[in-house]
Every structure is written in C-alpha cells, then in structure tokens.
Structure 1
C-alpha cells in the first residue's frame, strides 16, 4: 500500500506499488478494485489493542491509514524487515491487517502473499515479540496459521472500511464495507493462555469504543487545561 509520502517522493520501485499509485490516481473507482486497501475500523483496532496490545508497529499500511506511529508501507516491504528488532526498540506489540492479493516479488523478495506473511510472522515469533493479525477465518486456506500461539475466532462478520481515496464510479459502487468472518491470530512464544478462544464482534467493538471514549475525555480535559 502506497502512502502520500511515496507518491510525492517518487519512490515506487516495484510493480505492486506502481499499480497502487495508478489505482489511487484514477478519477473514479469500482468496489472490485479496492483489493488489499480495505481499512480496519478504529473501534475494531482499539478493541484488539485492548485485548492483545499495546500496539506500537503497524505492519501493513499505506502510510495515511497507519494505526501506529511506526509502520511499514508496501514500498518499505514489511517482509524484508526484522520485526523483532523493531519491537525491541519500540517496547510493544505489532498489528497487521494483511493484504490477501496473489503473492508477488520484487528483486527476489516477497512483497505480498499470505503464505509468506504468515511464514515471516512465525520466524519473527521465534526471535521474540508479539505479532497480532486480523485475518479471515479461512481455516481451509494453505496460509492458515496452524502454528499461531493463539487464535481468537470472532463471532459475527467483521466490516472493513473503504480507503479515503475511493471515488465511486457510478451509483452501483455504493460506498459500503467489506464483511467476512474474522479471527485474530497471535504469534507470541511467551503466550500462556489457551490456544483457541472466541469473542463477539459486539464485545470487540465495545472494548474499542470504551478506549476511544477515554482518549476523547483526556483530549477534552487537556484542551480545557490549555485554555485556562
């Protein structure tokens, strides 16, 4: 996924990034073109953060939609980096809403491909750190993370949001979300809990909303103090 920083800087060096730039620059879009660019809703992210965070590194972003101050874009290529070393510096956990597009490479290094993303997550887990992924509950897929230390299946379909750059081509391209059965995969060799659990979507969203309410409350308090 390509950020404004990359668009302005002309740093797109691989085909995947170039295609994303072309997509974003189109005057109008169709829903089928969104592909990897569906965004994680804030209340879902903060709900997962409450349960498995604190998150300090967003592994797959376009820069503009990053959930953490530290993040990787497609141009950075998360699969070319040592997440464990980065987390040791940041003192927290990593979050990922990974791309599901067909596996692609640049100069011999995989950029996309769920099988390779999960493989890298497993390798980083062995080095140390916590890596939490919001994924499709697709247990029959070859990439399904059997070696994850914990899987939390989400009861209720998860809705994802359209990217900010999406412009409907016509009235058929209704700006709605993408919905599918979801799960949370946790890679953490220090995990002491059960291998499998279940959580309701409503409960997850409520956790996120409660966290966001606290943030808003503190922000309002800070504004009042600064104005006094």
Structure 2
C-alpha cells in the first residue's frame, strides 16, 4: 500500500510537532491552548538585544514568531543542533524564550523539558558562544540554571503576546498577555562581568522602544535614499 503524504509526515514528525500543527490549523483557539507559544514582545527582545546582542539565532520558535533572522523550529529540534557552530557562521549570540512543557522525546531525543534545555545550553557554552535566555525567575525549580555565567533579575512582572496564529474562540479568549517574574540568563564562558544584576521592566521596555525607533528611522532614511 502506498503511504499518503500525511502519513509520511506523521511518521517523520514528532507528536509535539503534529499537535502544534493541528492547533495552528484550528479555526478558533482558547487561551489555555497557547502553552509554549507565548511570544516575546518586541520591546522586551530589543531591550535584551541592546544588553547582550547582537542576537542573531532564535533557538525556539514556530517560525512566524522568530525574533532573529536565523532560527530553529520544533521540527528542527534545537536540542539536537550544534548552536555553537551555527553562531560561528552568524557572528552573533543566540536568544531563547524556551518552552516549559513537560519533557517529551522523539526517536530517542528530547525535544522539550527545561532540564534538558538548560543541560544542552551548558554543553554549547563549553563549545563557545553566547546564549541568552528569557525565563521565569523560578529559583526553586530543579532546572534553575545556577551555573549560568550571568543572571539579570527583572524587577516587575513581564508580559508576553499571543502567537500570530491565535484566533480567539470567544470574547473571553481575547489575550491580555501572560505575566510572570522573569530573568535574563546568559551562558558565555568568556563573560567577565558580575554574576548577578537587576533591571526594571520599564528600563528594559524603554531601551527596547528606543532601539526600535532607531531602526524605524534608519529604515525610513534608507527607503528615501533608494527612491
């Protein structure tokens, strides 16, 4: 019997990827379904970029919500990738707003699970490169990266945006953002600064907005020159 295209895809893709694809394809969504897919707001990302960038590789994305020109989707499985080698090509740092769902495996490889994500980040750190994570400030969790080279605690709860594909099923599902205490964690064995620091949410957002305004002005200027 000849396999259909769908059967072939399902034999290759992980259950995680299949479920995500099905969710994105729904005609309407519920907030509880967003799960790992909350997006980092642009001002937050650019604020982090101004501190530790240039951020050029997004480690965990559904492609549409990528913050960097290069990225890994769930299909790529970042936990099987050599981030260090990719950064050598891109000449920058990696960014991650990682998934928090329970550990899942596919073909004997973990694709989710914060413990496994943090472990892989430490392996990549030893190979070289800078890896910047925006994570929950959950210091009591077993996965909390105590061995990171620098941790910036964010004063004030930070919010996240719904994914671009999210279509509210009803008025109660209109997203107002997901909020939690956050931290910026840096893995970089060449780091020479202090181990811990603090930044306020407003400082981070204001810096990001200023950075974005510079980008808009420069884009406008280049557009006028090209015309």
Normalising by structure 2, we get a TM-score of 0.94
Aligned to 1:115: 115
SS of the residue 1:159 aligns to: strand
Aligned to 1:189: 189
Distance in 1 (alpha carbons) for counterparts of 2:220 and 2:83: 35
Distance in 2 (alpha carbons) for counterparts of 1:161 and 1:31: 11
Offset at residue 114 of structure 1 (A): 0.3
Correspondences of 1:1-228 after superposition (within 5 Å): 13-227=13-227
SS of the residue 2:36 aligns to: helix
Deviations 1:1-31 (A, max 9, x none): xxxxxx9x95861100000011111121110
Normalising by structure 1, we get a TM-score of 0.94
State the number of aligned residues.
Answer: 220
Deviations 1:125-158 (A, max 9, x none): 0111100000000000010001100000000111
What runs of 5+ residues in structure 1 fail to find an aligned partner? 1-6
Distance in 2 (alpha carbons) for counterparts of 1:225 and 1:21: 42
Distance in 2 (alpha carbons) for counterparts of 1:60 and 1:10: 21
SS of the residue 1:94 aligns to: strand
SS of the residue 1:225 aligns to: helix
What runs of 5+ residues in structure 2 fail to find an aligned partner? 1-5
Q: What is the alpha-carbon root mean square deviation over aligned residues?
A: 1.4
Offset at residue 67 of structure 1 (A): 1.0
